[in-house]
Structure 1
Amino acid sequence: MRFTTRVLLLQLATVAAVVALCTVVFVLLGLQQLRAEAEASALNIARTIAADPQVRADVAAASADPGTPAAEALRGGPLQAYAGAVTARTGTLFVVIADDHGIRLAHPDASLLGQRVSTDYLEVLAGNEVVSWERGTLGVSARAKVPVLPPEGGDPVGEVSVGFEPASVFDDLPALLIGVAAAATGALALGALAAVLLRRRFERLTLGLQPEELVALVQNQAAVLDGVGDGVVALDPDGIVQVCNDDAARLLGIPDAVGRRFDDLGLPVAVTAAVADGTAGDGVVVGDRVLFVDAQPVHRAGRHLGSVLIVRDRTDMLALSERLESVRALTGALRVQRHEFANRLHAATGLIDAGRIADARAFLAAQQERGPVDFAVPGIDLVGDPVLQSLVGAKALEAAERGVLLRVGDDTLLVRTVVDVEDVAAVLGNLVDNAVTAAVAAPEPRWVELTLLGDETDLVITVADSGAGLAPDATPFARRGADDRDRLHGLGVGLPLSRDLARRRGGEVWIVDPGGGGSGAVVAATLPGVLDGADTRPPPPTTPPPPPERPSS
């Protein structure tokens, strides 16, 4: 049996029990009220009769007579006639008048006149009014007994007893029971209707899921939200955040998002647009992170339940991509260098084999002046590390294809080898690529100047260009969205990633000179601990000692 069905049956049983209990209580209260009304009516009638002057005088006279009144005299007496008239007029069961000895002076059964009453009368003669249900000669009745006082006042000289039979008391009981039954039926129907509506509402809210399924769903949700590395944000149809795991809060910078409108969280337009359109977006920049966001609407049984936003961090992947691009360029440069070096060896070997030693010597001297690769980079000999020579040569070739001259500054001094090629290649490659892009947009001559300085094991890189410089309001280290076309000097993701790589090593990337007014920008970077501690410069030549002088003969 489904949980909602069990709840419905339990609610119906509870409503039925409550209605039955209330019905019994109302019936008992109604019976009590009917009895109280009958007793009050009997008491009022008895008081009226006992206060009648003629009744008081006749009862006082009967009580003063030491003998017992004759029944024949009482049958035609005024008290009997008066009591009969009251009985006929009020519908009572009986009206009995007795003297101070309990002798009946008036009674509905004339054969009982002159006899003692069947119930106690001493309490009434003591001056008290008595209301009770008692059994007498006429059966059970609701009766009231009131003392009769003499005309001149004093102690009671008799009593008046008025009674109603149960049948007349409960004449209104059927109407009362019908009313109570109608109310109970209405309450039961209303309770059943409320239970049915509550069941439908419960199933609508839970999408027909049972509590056991909801528990399993919560457990699975907690496991998924805490176990995946992606950020997950769930929105209801009104755009209110209902679920936001820790990764989403960290990546989007929204620690207290649950219960707030997604549009009010201050996120970039690309994120809110993806949620509104139910689309995906790559390269979305939020804070210092580059994210991939994917929003999908959620439907169940034809009902729109909201949206789910998946957030993935692409920052490290982009950093790795930049490193791979630099390594790829370096690999290509080394391949070109190996091929060119092999060609030079073949040429030199051919000259030597031909016996043209002087030509071979001249060829090798010319190659030494030309440099280690097949294209010349001014000042490349100032870079002592062969890996960086190859990387700079590859970047120079790419820059030449775009009409930009890459040269090494005269202040370059690097006599140590690089031990962490990936970070150096990524940072240097990004800075040079940004500078080349800026120089391409400027008029000729277009150039980029690279300066490398070794400070113990630290590497200092400075890149200047002939571009137009940075705009006064430019923020080169701010990440931009994928649709931003202005990427000069790192206005995309290259320069921020270079700064991240440098800061991870304890270094920094900064703008030395924003340029402008006909001069380009100057960007510098420090990379601690990327150089080997050994000096690769050849030792200075030593002058051989002069030969010892021969002793003179």
Structure 2
Amino acid sequence: MTEKNWLSKLSLKKMTALLVLLSVFVSLIASTFLLHHYVVNREQDLLKEKLKNIGRIIAKDPRVIDEVSRNIFSSESIVQAYTMEVMEITNVNFIVVLNNQLIRLSHPDASVIGQPFSNIEDASKSLNGTEHFSREQGILGEGTRFFTPIWDEQGQQIGIVCVGYVQDTINDEIWDAQKTIYIGLGVGLFVGLLGALYLAQYLKKILFGLEPKQIAANIKERDIIKESVCEAIIAVSPNQKVIMYNQNFIQMFEKAKVRGEFIQDGFLSKELFTLLFQETFQREKSLSNDVLVVNQLELIISVKLIYINEKIYGAVATLRDQSDMQQLIRELSGTEQYIDSIRAQNHKFMNQLHTILGLIELEKFDDVQHFIRVLDADYRREIGFVTDKIKSPAIAGFLLAKSSELKEQGVVLEIDGECYFPNIKMEEILHDLLLSIGVLLDNAKEAVTQTIKKHVALYLNYEEDEEVIVLEIQDSDEGIEEHMLQEIFKRGVSTKGKNRGYGLDAVQSIVNRYKGVIEVQSKVGRGTVFRMELPYKRGE
């Protein structure tokens, strides 16, 4: 397993703890290494300075000068007693007093007093009146020692003082000085481990328990999703900073021909912020499916506030071209009209078939024959009247289906005898005209449902001279109150309850699309009349 694969399998918590601990460990080891050398060198310098001071003090002591001058070699001598006392006080390992012949006058081992110094060559370096340090092997073992000359009152060198530590003692001194460093290293590593574990746990918490790969995957998924949706999306903070947006947002406002940069240095332009978000932040209330007009482009906008820890963090706006929504409404409404018409025809034919079947089972063949003649006469009368007035097969068929549907529901549809609609060549406007007729007839049907006189009248005509399609639908409902007349064409506004008010909005969009006119007249208790005019130039 490679190092990269090994690291990739570690969780965020373990990786964070490992990296922090490794950083602390390397830092502490490096610091300890540097401090170790500093302490060793400093301790050695201090020991040398200590040896130098002790040696010089002994060399200047009058008692030492006197006995060296007289060459007194005895374990009971003043020099021996004095040096042993100094050794005990200063903790040095040995103090040796020599005469100029390098014979010992004192030594920690009294048995060697009166014998030559163990390393004549090393000691003789100070016979010329100089001081020096050396590290040599002696009777007590390897050690560091300092040699300094002894001068009498006449200024003549009469001997040498050698003061030193054996290496084991030096090592003990250095270790005592280093113990604090190593204890500090251990404490630092322990604290570093605790800190690494806490940091890893804290990072895991604020990242909702997600691993880096999961975070990266979520970001990629978010980007894919936001670019895949049809709506334009933008989210901002209260200070205009853009949190996120998709390309549909840029394309939508380019389509609206908005000038200037929309986003500058990560902030939404003041004009767009005021247009899209200012009201939401001021009122601290989300908006849903509002109509926004930008340079004659109608947009449907919803703005939702974003809360973090019960405080407003920002807001996200979704926008969609109203024309897309209206096209969808038209398609859905048109489909619904066709389905309702087919359902009504199916219901009517099933009732008629059941009637014929029942008469046959009762062997009332004359009644069967009479009933079929009546159906045929009614059918010819209805079809003949409609097809005589309405030459367009699609519109004639649709009106016949709606007439049957309304009749099934107890509503009388009266088609004006003055109607006339030629079999003109119609393309997209045919679908829009059928949708408008269906919406207005359905609204009229629902309006008269609770009235005694359930009557709906329709007038459809194509005026050749003015090249305009005229549609007029009148019903016998209770009428619409005057304050509602200005609102009924707005999307979502309806007198029939919630989740309604999309049909008339679709009709209004059709009228606007063809630059036509739609009017409504209503009096309470007398009914309502919708009149729509669509300019249409008849093709050859």
TM interval, shorter chain, is 0.5 to 0.7
Q: Which residue of 1 aligns with 2:87?
A: 87
> What is the deviation of 1:452?
3.5
- The amino acid of 1:87's aligned partner reads M
Kindly state the Cα deviation for residue 86 of structure 1 after the two structures are TM-superposed.
0.9
2:441 is equivalent to residue 432 of structure 1: yes
Number of the residue aligned with 1:374: 382
1:110 aligns with 2:113: yes
- The one-letter code matched in structure 2 to 1:425 is L
Alignment of 1:444-463 (within 5 A): 444=453, 446-454=455-463, 458-463=468-473
What are the Cα deviations for residues 68-122 of structure 1, in whole angstroms up to 9, with x where unaligned? 9564458765444322221233331222456899887655452356996725866
Unaligned runs of 5+ in 2: 234-242, 253-267, 269-283, 290-298, 302-323, 347-376
- Please state how far the C-alpha of 1:163 moved relative to its aligned partner: 1.6
Distance of 1:3 and 1:217 partners within structure 2 = 20
CA separation in 2, counterparts of 1:469 and 1:124? 132
Asked if the contact 1:514–1:522 (Cα under 8 Å) also holds between the matched residues in 2, the reply is: yes
1:409 and 1:449 in contact (8 A); partners too: yes
Structure of higher CA gyration radius: 1
- Structure-2 separation of matches of 1:324 and 1:447: 22
SS in 2 for 1:419: coil
Work out whether 1:476 is the aligned partner of 2:488.
yes
What amino acid does structure 1 have at the position aligned with 2:122?
Answer: S
Give secondary structure in 2 for the equivalent of 1:429.
helix
Q: 1:35 touches 1:169 (CA, 8 Å); kept in 2?
A: no
Structure 1 residue runs of 5 or longer lacking an equivalent are: 63-67, 234-241, 257-263, 270-286, 290-312, 336-366, 535-553
Question: How many angstroms apart in 2 are the aligned matches of 1:23 and 1:117?
Answer: 43
Q: 2:56: which partner in 1?
A: 50
Secondary structure in 2 matching 1:118:
helix
2:502, 2:228 → 1: CA distance?
26
Residue correspondence of structure 1 range 9-408 to structure 2 within 5 A: 26=32, 29=35, 33=39, 36-37=42-43, 39-41=45-47, 43-44=49-50, 46-47=52-53, 50-51=56-57, 55-57=60-62, 69=69, 71-72=71-72, 78-97=78-97, 107-108=107-108, 109-112=112-115, 118-119=122-123, 133=135, 138-143=140-145, 161-171=162-172, 173=175, 180=182, 187=189, 225=225, 266=286, 319-327=330-338, 373-374=381-382, 385=392, 387-399=394-406, 404-407=411-414
What is the aligned length? 425
How many Å separate the matches in 1 of 2:514 and 2:157? Answer: 120
CA distance in 2, matches of 1:372, 1:177: 117
Name the aligned partner's letter for residue 507 of structure 1: Y
How far apart in 2 are the matches of 1:123 and 1:246?
Answer: 95
* TM-score, scaled to structure 2: 0.53
Once the two structures are superposed, residues 190-220 of structure 1 have per-residue CA deviations (whole angstroms, 9 ceiling, x without a partner) of 8599689969998998999996xx6997799
CA change 1:60–1:176 in 2 (3 A) is: closer
Provide the rounded CA distance (Å) in 1 between the counterparts of 2:101 and 2:531. Answer: 132
Matched residues, percent identical? 18
Q: Is the 8 A contact 2:20 2:192 kept in 1?
A: no
2:255 match: none
Residue 374 (structure 1) shift: 2.3
Instruction: Name whichever of 191-200 and 103-112 sits farther off.
Output: 191-200
SS of the residue aligned with 1:425?
helix
Q: Which AA in structure 1 matches 2:163?
A: V
Q: Specify the SS of the correspondent of 2:539.
A: coil
8 Å CA contact 2:97–2:104 kept in 1: the answer is: yes
Distance 1:459 1:120 in 2: 135
Any conservation in 2 of the 1:80–1:107 contact (CA below 8 Å)? yes
Q: CA shift at 1:26, angstroms?
A: 4.0
Query: Considering only aligned residues, what root-mean-square deviation do their CA atoms show, in Å?
Result: 6.6
Whether the 8 Å contact between 1:322 and 1:426 is mirrored in structure 2 is yes
Structure (1/2) with the larger helix percentage: 2
Q: 1:463 to 1:122 in 2, by over 3 A?
A: farther
Deviation digits for residues 357-391 of structure 1 (CA, Å, limit 9, x no counterpart)? xxxxxxxxxx9xx99742898x9976564654454
Residue 543 of structure 1 aligns with which residue?
none
Is 1:498 paired with 2:507? yes
1:472 is paired with a residue whose SS is helix
| Shift in alpha-carbon separation, 1:31–1:101, aligned structure 2, 3 A | farther
AA matched with 2:426: V
Q: Does the 8 A contact of 1:371 with 1:381 survive in 2?
A: no
CA gap of 1:207–1:21, structure 2 versus 1, over 3 A, is closer
Q: Residue 507 of structure 1 aligns with which residue?
A: 514
Give the SS at the match of 2:471: strand
